Amino acid sequence: MNNIALGRYIPLNSPIHHLDPRTKIIGLILMMIAIFIPAGWFGYLLVGTAVFILTLLAKLKLSFLWRSMKPMLFMLVFLLVINLFIVREGDLWFSIGPFPIYSGAVFQTLYIVVRLMLMIVLTTVLTATTKPLELTLGIEDLLGPLKVIHVPAHEIAMMISIALRFIPTLIEETQRIMKAQASRGVDLEEGSFKEKVMAILSLIVPLFVSAFQHADDLANAMEARGYVPDQLRTRYKQLVMRGVDFLTLAVAVVLMVALIMMAWVL
């Protein structure tokens, strides 16, 4: 469990870590848009360079980025293969068995790979440099204006932060229940289908029971400390946009606009 890199916060002291979470969320959205603008190979080079500079600024190691990409690798390869065989544009280059491969397919496939990799790296930069709680606060503030149309921004943020808070607890509990059931002869790897179903039930039922227990206790603790869902609350952690935040956003906007221009010219 501790080897998963995707989505993990890395406590470092970098300029990206110190940015306001809202800057990072909006920046991510702008960059994502930029990635999807078809501005040819030069466009990708531009965005790629920007992303590369970002990872340097965030002090993230290449090995870490590679590990966060690993779980997505299978999907990436799968998409590639499908795409390679299905697209029939451009010149016919060669055939693999009965499958003809076209030049268009190769280029498109490469574009897809680059896009996906850039997206994964960008998302990783966001989650690796932003504490989950800050991310939640950022989302809450960004959703704030939508309260007018009855989007429960605060409640959503509260739910996310509580879910994040209890993930380690539930992981720990899962491991404990697995061990307890293994001591009762449960074997998740071997056994018939029926035995496997029982094995999974013996894990899931206790996990649900304890999750509900946590929820019940937590609700009591929150209410006892004066929490009323739809009542106005103040907030301890305040987000403050600084000059560097506006600068970062400006760069992201410029980048996106540049790509749109390039796409338009093409």
According to the binding rule CB under 8 A, does residue 232 interact with other proteins? yes
Q: What are phi and psi of 100, to 5 degrees?
A: -80, 140
Under rule CB under 8 A, residue 194 binds other proteins: no
The maximal CA–CA distance of the chain, rounded, in angstroms, is: 71
Whose Cβ is closer to other proteins: residue 236's or residue 264's? Answer: 236
4 binds other proteins (CB under 8 A): no
Residue 89 burial (10 A CB sphere; 0-12, 13-18, 19+): exposed
187: contact with other proteins by CB under 8 A: yes
Bridge partners of 94, per DSSP, are: 101
Window contacting other proteins (CB under 8 A); options: 41-49, 93-101, 116-124, 207-215:
207-215
Stretches 12-20, 84-92, 103-111, 159-167: which one binds other proteins (CB under 8 A)?
159-167
Q: Which amino acid is at 121?
A: V
146, 153 contact by CB (below 8 A): yes
Residues sharing a CB contact under 8 Å with residue 53, sequence separation 6 or more, in sequence order? none
Q: Torsion angle, CA of 95/99/100/106, rounded to 10 degrees? A: -90
Q: Using CB under 8 A, which of 82, 179, 254, 261 touches other proteins?
A: 179
Examine residue 45 and tell whether it contacts other proteins (CB under 8 A).
no
Answer yes or no whether residue 165 interacts with other proteins by CB under 8 A: yes
| Nearest distance, CB of residue 174 and other proteins, angstroms | 11
Total of chain residues touching other proteins, rule CB under 8 A: 53
Residues 79-118 close enough to bind other proteins by CB under 8 A: none
Instruction: Choose which of 7, 235, 244, 263 interacts with other proteins (CB under 8 A).
Output: 235
| Residue 174 CB burial class (10 angstroms; 0-12, 13-18, ≥19) | middle
- End-to-end, the C-alpha distance of the chain in Å comes to 46
**Residue ranges in contact with other proteins by CB under 8 A:** 2-3, 131-133, 161-162, 164-165, 168-169, 173, 176-177, 179-187, 195, 198, 201-202, 204-206, 209-210, 213-214, 217-218, 220-228, 231-238
